[in-house]
């Protein structure tokens, strides 16, 4: 939800904190702030608005010091304002805190502290942490933080500094991401790795409820009981440019263009000698034979990938699958047993609803398999098995390359299950593997259609409402196309199953309404042609997405046609989605929207 950073070293903290925060702004962008310790004083500068506003403010203020913490916010408690921005300072001004997460019992703590004479300046849950640490402090900051954490309920990643400790700061986490970066005579904390990649590649991951004491030359980690923990650092081998825009106007466009390589990176290493080998998956053949049901749980775009997963696993492996939104699954008392497999999908690996839904499934005896992009994230660490989508960092709030790679992983799982169950003969199996490996080139050919898509977007960016329709896998695809458009263009949009439209929604189609129709499924092609005719007859303008082989036929009934290569219907969504992402992107650009940081959203949703 929010992004936090911390630095201690021999360099000026201000430019480093701002530089790191720029990489975290995708996590929250309604306000930002820094606290830098110098000569026994905490210099606190914060402001409402984008990070650029804070940066401008800092350009006119002398803020020196070689240790500091910083924050970029996505408001949960209290509106975006200077006073609600982090860092928050304790009553006597000696302790500063940045926080990502939600403190669920903050009202009770607030009442307790109010009774002790503490006054609150902000509406945030975070301010109570600063005061509570001060209240618990008796000269030992680590102890005070540990005691405070024991009294907090909820999720947190924290950076804490105090006037009494000019050569160290403290970090802690529970259910919110936080990593420690190790440098030479300097150390860092951040909400994610790309934020500090420019400065160090040596990373320590903090476990839940651990506290780190960070000085210039070492990092000590303690568990809840205050016992010192051993932790091996790992070295990140990605390219720094993976987290930079690299000449593109927006991260979103860069990430769409990375889809061919991301898909290749997810698929290729897992096909060895004409067989699928899925990392170190511990699911046995016996478990697969006994698997009665699969639950796929996720949120947003990852959920839409899950809906595709349902269709393909059921089709290929003949195992019943339920794809479900994590926030619904969590609270509906789901029927699960030990012969069920739960697949959770998450780009960030930190989405709270998905994480908690996974715990719920585990608690009820199900095995869990996580399809996750961020290495070492909470979901990845807690699942029984992990299948990483090697998409590289995804910075734009609107998920693009993560979706194609999630689909890639799901295809691998579906094919493996089908193979193990003896449902695919050698010929079919190897044909699918061959086609799967052609996906990067096919996505490339859709990217080459970008000018045509841009032209179409330029004719329709003023639309009030846009419908997406499709049948079968095209319906699943339409859900994602519609979400992409909504989140960055702010145009009202709905996705409907082609056959369902006439049961109500068709009443909304009038002269000029834009309907994006997907016709990539051979078996359902004629049915969809019928649905296109139905909306055309009511005045709709139709943008059709179909395979090359059907282009001329579809051109007779649609206003515009975007073609994708002739791909097996089962694999079509992985290719076709790119055209929808490009369409949403160009519409949003033409509307002048902030494509990478759409209003009201944040990249990683760690609140319920
Ligand atoms: C997609 O464009 C979104 N911004 C959002 O729906 C996202 O997919 C969802 O919040 C799930 O995130 P996750 O994959 O990190 O769990």
Residue 135 · residue 95 · CB < 8 Å: no
Interval 19-34 mean pLDDT: 90
pLDDT score recorded for residue 75: 80
Mutate to test the pocket of ligand 1, among 74, 350, 351 (most ligand atoms within 8 A of CB): 351
pLDDT score recorded for residue 546: 98
**CA-nearest residue, atom 5 of ligand 1:** 300
Decide if pLDDT at 487 tops 80.
Answer: yes
Quick: pLDDT tens for 156-190: 999 999 999 999 999 999 988 899 999 999 999 99
pLDDT score recorded for residue 281: 87
Quick: pLDDT tens for 244-271: 777 899 999 999 999 999 999 999 999 9
pLDDT score recorded for residue 203: 94
pLDDT score recorded for residue 404: 97
Coil, helix or strand for 601?
coil
pLDDT score recorded for residue 377: 86
pLDDT score recorded for residue 505: 86
- Output the pTM of the full model: 0.81
Mutate to test the pocket of ligand 1, among 28, 251, 343, 399 (most ligand atoms within 8 A of CB): 399
pLDDT score recorded for residue 227: 95
The alpha carbon of 473 and the centre of ligand 1 are apart by a number of angstroms equal to: 20
Pocket residues: Cβ below 6 A from ligand 1: 299-302, 346-348, 351, 354, 397-399, 487, 601, 604-605
pLDDT score recorded for residue 173: 94
Measured CA to CA in angstroms, residue 114 lies from 94, 110, 149 at distances of 18, 6, 19
pLDDT score recorded for residue 330: 87
The alpha carbon of 394 and the centre of ligand 1 are apart by a number of angstroms equal to: 11
Of residues 136 and 606, the one with the higher pLDDT is 136
Interval 107-121 mean pLDDT: 94
Decide if pLDDT at 601 tops 90.
Answer: no
Of all residues in the chain, the percent with pLDDT exceeding 70 is: 99
**CA-nearest residue, atom 4 of ligand 1:** 398
Name the band, by pLDDT with cuts 50, 70 and 90, for residue 80.
Answer: confident
Mutate to test the pocket of ligand 1, among 250, 256, 301, 599 (most ligand atoms within 8 A of CB): 301
Decide if pLDDT at 582 tops 90.
Answer: yes
Contacts 24+ apart (CB under 8 A), 356-359: 356/326, 356/330, 357/297, 357/326, 357/327, 357/329, 357/330, 358/297, 358/382, 358/383
The alpha carbon of 139 and the centre of ligand 1 are apart by a number of angstroms equal to: 43
End-to-end Cα separation, the chain, in angstroms: 11
Instruction: Kindly name the residue from 48, 110, 486, 603 that is annotated as catalytic.
Output: 603
Quick count: other Cβ atoms within 10 Å of Cβ 463?
18
DSSP result, 361-374? HHHTT-EEEEEESS
Structure tokens at 428: 């079919």
Tokens 């033409």 correspond to 590
Report the C-alpha gap between 219 and 214 in whole angstroms.
5
Decide if pLDDT at 240 tops 80.
Answer: no
The alpha carbon of 74 and the centre of ligand 1 are apart by a number of angstroms equal to: 15
Decide if pLDDT at 571 tops 90.
Answer: yes
Report the C-alpha gap between 341 and 90 in whole angstroms.
47
pLDDT score recorded for residue 530: 95
Non-local CB neighbours of 82 within 8 Å, separated by 6+ positions: 31, 46, 47, 48
Decide if pLDDT at 603 tops 80.
Answer: no
Q: Which atom of ligand 1 is nearest to the CA of 483?
A: 2
Interval 408-415 mean pLDDT: 97
Report the C-alpha gap between 333 and 305 in whole angstroms.
23
pLDDT score recorded for residue 502: 87
pLDDT score recorded for residue 189: 97
pLDDT score recorded for residue 476: 97
Interval 447-456 mean pLDDT: 94
Q: Residue 516: CA atoms inside 13 Å, Cβ hemisphere, count?
A: 33
Non-local CB neighbours of 258 within 8 Å, separated by 6+ positions: 391, 392, 401
Instruction: Kindly name the residue from 2, 20, 291, 299 that is annotated as catalytic.
Output: 2
Q: Which atom of ligand 1 is nearest to the CA of 397?
A: 4
362 is catalytic: no
Quick: pLDDT tens for 182-217: 999 999 999 988 899 999 999 998 988 999 999 999
Residue 44 · residue 96 · CB < 8 Å: yes
Report the C-alpha gap between 9 and 578 in whole angstroms.
44
Name the band, by pLDDT with cuts 50, 70 and 90, for residue 400.
Answer: very high
Quick: pLDDT tens for 362-376: 999 999 999 999 988
User: What domains sit in the chain, N to C, each tagged with a CATH number?
Assistant: 3-239 (3.60.20.10), 246-447 (3.40.50.10490), 449-608 (3.40.50.10490)
pLDDT score recorded for residue 604: 75
Decide if pLDDT at 241 tops 80.
Answer: no
420 is catalytic: no
The alpha carbon of 307 and the centre of ligand 1 are apart by a number of angstroms equal to: 14
Name the band, by pLDDT with cuts 50, 70 and 90, for residue 454.
Answer: very high
Of all residues in the chain, the percent with pLDDT exceeding 90 is: 84
Mutate to test the pocket of ligand 1, among 177, 296, 347, 607 (most ligand atoms within 8 A of CB): 347
pLDDT score recorded for residue 12: 97
Quick: pLDDT tens for 319-361: 999 999 999 998 999 999 999 999 999 999 999 999 999 999 9
**CA-nearest residue, atom 6 of ligand 1:** 300
DSSP result, 480-541? HHHHHHHHHH--EEEEEETTTGGGTGGGG--TT-EEEEEE--GGGHHHHHHHHHHHHHTT-E
Closest by alpha carbon to 545, among 531, 530, 558, 527?
A: 558
Of residues 482 and 244, the one with the higher pLDDT is 482
Least confident piece of the model among 6-20, 270-284, 457-471, 507-521? 270-284
Mean pLDDT of the chain: 94
The C-alpha torsion from 127 through 129 and 132 to 136, rounded to 10°, is -150
């Amino acid at each position: 939800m929010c992004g936090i950073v911390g630095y201690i070293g021999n360099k000026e903290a201000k430019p480093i904190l701002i530089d790191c925060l720029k990489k975290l702004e995708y996590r929250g962008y309604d306000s930002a702030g820094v606290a830098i310790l110098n000569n026994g004083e905490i210099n606190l500068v914060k402001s409402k608005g984008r990070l650029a506003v804070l940066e401008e403010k800092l350009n006119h203020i002398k803020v020196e010091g070689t240790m500091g913490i910083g924050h970029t916010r996505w408001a949960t408690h209290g509106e975006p304002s200077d006073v609600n921005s982090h860092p928050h300072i304790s009553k006597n001004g000696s302790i500063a805190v940045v926080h990502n997460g939600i403190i669920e019992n903050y009202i009770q703590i607030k009442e307790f502290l109010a009774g002790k004479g503490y006054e609150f300046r902000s509406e945030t849950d975070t301010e109570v942490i600063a005061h509570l640490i001060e209240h618990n402090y008796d000269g030992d900051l680590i102890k005070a933080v540990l005691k405070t954490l024991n009294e907090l309920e909820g999720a947190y990643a924290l950076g804490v500094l105090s006037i009494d400790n000019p050569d160290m700061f403290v970090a802690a986490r529970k259910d919110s991401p936080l990593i420690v970066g190790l440098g030479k005579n300097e150390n860092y904390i951040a909400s994610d790795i790309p934020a500090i990649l420019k400065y160090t590649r040596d990373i320590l991951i903090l476990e839940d409820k651990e506290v780190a004491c960070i000085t210039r030359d070492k990092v000590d980690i303690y568990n809840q009981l205050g016992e010192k923990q051993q932790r091996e650092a790992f070295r990140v081998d990605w390219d720094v440019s993976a987290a930079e825009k690299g000449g593109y106007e927006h991260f979103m466009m860069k990430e769409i263009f990375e889809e061919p390589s991301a898909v290749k990176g997810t698929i290729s290493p897992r096909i060895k000698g004409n067989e699928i080998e899925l990392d170190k998956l511990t699911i046995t053949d016996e478990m697969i034979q006994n698997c009665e049901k699969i639950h796929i749980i996720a949120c947003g775009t990852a959920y839409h990938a899950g809906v595709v997963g349902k269709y393909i696993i059921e089709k290929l492996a003949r195992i019943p699958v339920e794809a479900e939104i994590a926030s619904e699954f969590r609270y509906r008392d789901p029927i699960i047993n030990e012969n069920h497999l739960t697949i959770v999908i998450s780009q960030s690996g930190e989405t709270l609803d998905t994480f908690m839904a996974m715990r719920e499934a585990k608690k009820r005896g199900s095995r869990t398999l996580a399809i996750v992009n961020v290495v070492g994230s909470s979901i990845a660490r807690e699942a029984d098995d992990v299948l990483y989508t090697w998409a590289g960092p995804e910075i734009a709030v609107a998920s693009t390359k993560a979706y194609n790679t999630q689909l890639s992983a799901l295809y691998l799982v579906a094919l493996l299950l089908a193979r193990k169950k003896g449902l695919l003969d050698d010929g079919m199996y190897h044909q699918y593997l061959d086609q799967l490996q052609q996906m990067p080139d096919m996505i490339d050919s859709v990217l080459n259609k970008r000018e045509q898509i841009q032209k179409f977007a330029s004719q329709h960016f003023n639309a009030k409402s846009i419908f997406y329709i499709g049948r079968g896998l095209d319906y699943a695809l339409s859900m994602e196309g519609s979400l992409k458009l909504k989140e960055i263009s702010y145009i009202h949009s709905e996705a409907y199953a082609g056959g369902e439209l006439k049961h109500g929604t068709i009443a909304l189609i009038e002269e000029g309404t834009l309907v994006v129709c997907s016709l990539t499924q051979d078996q359902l092609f004629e049915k969809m042609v019928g649905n296109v005719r139905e909306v055309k007859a009511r005045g709709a303008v139709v943008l059709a997405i179909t395979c090359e082989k059907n282009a001329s036929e579809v051109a007779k009934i649609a206003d515009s046609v975007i073609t994708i290569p002739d791909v097996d219907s089962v694999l079509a969504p992985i290719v076709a989605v790119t055209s929808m992402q490009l369409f949403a992107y160009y519409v949003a650009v033409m509307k002048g929207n902030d494509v990478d940081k759409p209003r009201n959203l944040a990249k990683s949703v760690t609140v319920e």
